[in-house]
Amino acid sequence: MTKEKTEEREYPLNQIYFYLTEGCNLRCRHCWIQPKYQAGDKTYPSLPLELFRSIIKQAKPLGLSAVKLTGGEPLLHPNINEILDVIRAEELGVTMETNGVLCTLELAEKIKATCENPFVSVSVDGSEAETHEWVRGVEGCFEAALNGVRNLVKAGFKPQIIMSVMKRNRDQMEPVVRLAESLGAGSVKFNLIQPTARGKKMHETGETLSVAELVKIGQWAENELSAVTDLRIIYSHPMVFKPLGKMFSNNGDGCGTCGIFGILGVLGNSSYALCGIGETVPELVFGHAAKDNLKDVWENTPILNEIREGLPKRLGGICGDCLMKNVCLGYCIAQNYYRSKDLWAPFWFCEDAEAAGLFPETRIVSAVGESKFG
C-alpha cells in the first residue's frame, strides 16, 4: 500500500476496539490478554476519559462508525457512564464484551440507550457455579454473571452468552445452551482456547482439547445442537471447517470476519495496537494516543500497511493453500504472530488439523489455483 493510496482511505477505520482497563475483577485461567487482578482498593490504569474523547474525534473523519468496549473488564472503568455518553453523543454503534459481574439494571439500561442496536456478550463458562468459577477464578462470580445477564434482558437486550470450551466444561455445552434459553439470551458462542498468554499455559498443561476433539465437537454443535434450540449457535473454528450452509453467515467470529483491514486497538495504557495482542507483543503497539496523531498512525504505520499489502497472498502453510483464504485472511493474524513472530504463519488450528489429516481436502487450492478435487 503506497502512501498515496492510504491517504485516499481505501481502508477506512471502521471500528476501534477499546481495551479500556488494565485490570479485571476476575482471574480467568484462559485469558489471552492476562490483565491484572483488581479487587478491593487495588486499582490499575485505565484509558483516560479525555483521551477516549480525543480518539473518537480523530477517528470519525477516518470513517469510524462503531466501537467495541472490552478489557480487562470494561464495566470496571471508573468513567464507564461518561464513555457511554460520548458514544451516544457521537452517534456510534457499540459492542461490549463483559463478564457481567458489574452489570446492574441501571447500567444495562444506559448501554441499551447508547445507540439503535447495541450488542452485549457475557461470558458464562459452565452451567453451574463450580465449573464457571474454576475457569474464572473468583468465588461468587457465577451468580453475579447470571444476574448481569438478567439485567440486560430486563433492559431489552437479547445478549449473547460466550463459553470457552475446554476439557473441564466440554460436557456442559448443551446445558449452557439450556441455561441461556432460560435467561432470555439470543445466542450462544463457543470459543476455542487460543494458545496465547494464559491460554498457552492451558495448552501446555493439557487442559485444552485436541484439534480432533474440537473438529468433532464443532460438527456436533453446528449440525445437531443448533437443530434442537431456537438460539443462534456459533462455534468459532475457522470458516473452512463450517458446513456450507453456515460458511458465509454473518456470525462475527474469527479475524477473517472481524474486519482486520478496518479495525485498530486502543489499550488500557492509551497505546495504539493491532488489537489486545499488544498487551503481550510490544512490537504490535504503534504509538500512544496522548502524543501520536491517529490519522498518521492509521495510514503510515509500516506493519499495518504490510498487512494490507500482504493479505491474503503472503499467507504461508495450509492457510496459503486454503480455498477460503480470501475471506478468512489467516483467521487471526495477531495469534499467528504471537505464536511464530511471522505475520504470514498459518493459524495453529488449521496447521494442526492438516497434520492430523483433518483439514478438508476439497477446500485446498492446488498450485494452479483450483480445488484439488475440482
State pLDDT tens for residues 2-39. 444 444 548 999 999 999 999 999 999 999 999 999 99
Of 102-106, 217-221, 239-243, 367-371, the poorest mean pLDDT is in 367-371
DSSP 324-336: THHHHTTS-HHHH
Residue 368 pLDDT more than 60? no
> 242-249, long-range: CB within 8 Å, 24+ apart, which pairs?
242/218, 246/222, 247/324, 248/327
Distance (Å, whole) CA 24 – CA 13 = 28
Number of CB atoms found within 10 A of residue 368's CB:
5
pLDDT band, very low/low/confident/very high, at 249 (cuts 50, 70, 90): low
Report DSSP state, residue 291: T
Q: Which three cell numbers stand for residue 157?
A: 437486550
pLDDT band, very low/low/confident/very high, at 246 (cuts 50, 70, 90): low
Instruction: Report whether 113 contacts 155 (CB < 8 A).
Output: no
Q: Mean pLDDT across the stretch 169-182?
A: 98
Q: Mean pLDDT across the stretch 139-157?
A: 98
Max Cα distance, the chain (Å): 63
Residue 370 pLDDT more than 70? no
Q: Which three cell numbers stand for residue 150?
A: 438478567
Beta pairing, strands 23-24 & 271-273:
unpaired
- Percent of residues, the chain, with pLDDT higher than 70: 91
Give the model's pLDDT for residue 256. 43
Give the model's pLDDT for residue 366. 64
- Collapsing DSSP to helix, strand or coil, 164 comes out as strand
Q: Report which residue type is found at 110.
A: K
pLDDT band, very low/low/confident/very high, at 40 (cuts 50, 70, 90): confident
Residue 128 pLDDT more than 60? yes
Q: Mean pLDDT across the stretch 133-142?
A: 98
Q: Which three cell numbers stand for residue 158?
A: 437479547
- The model carries a pTM of 0.92
- Percent of residues, the chain, with pLDDT higher than 90: 89
Distance (Å, whole) CA 174 – CA 180 = 10
Instruction: Report whether 170 contacts 189 (CB < 8 A).
Output: no
Of 193-197, 363-367, 369-373, the poorest mean pLDDT is in 369-373
Q: Report which residue type is found at 142.
A: F
Number of CB atoms found within 10 A of residue 116's CB:
6
Q: Mean pLDDT across the stretch 128-134?
A: 98
Beta pairing, strands 187-192 & 232-235:
parallel
What are the boundaries of each domain within the chain? 10-266
Residue 372 pLDDT more than 90? no
Backbone angles phi, psi at 53, to 5 degrees: -60, -45
Distance (Å, whole) CA 288 – CA 267 = 9
Give the model's pLDDT for residue 41. 87
Residue 295 pLDDT more than 70? yes
Backbone angles phi, psi at 94, to 5 degrees: -140, 135
- Beta strands, E only, 11-150: 15-19, 23-24, 36-37, 66-70, 93-98, 119-123
Instruction: Report whether 238 contacts 347 (CB < 8 A).
Output: yes
Average pLDDT, the chain: 92
Q: Mean pLDDT across the stretch 292-311?
A: 97
pLDDT band, very low/low/confident/very high, at 81 (cuts 50, 70, 90): very high
State pLDDT tens for residues 253-283. 434 445 899 999 999 999 999 999 999 999 9
- Collapsing DSSP to helix, strand or coil, 167 comes out as coil
Number of CB atoms found within 10 A of residue 328's CB:
23
- The CATH classification number of 10-266 equals 3.20.20.70
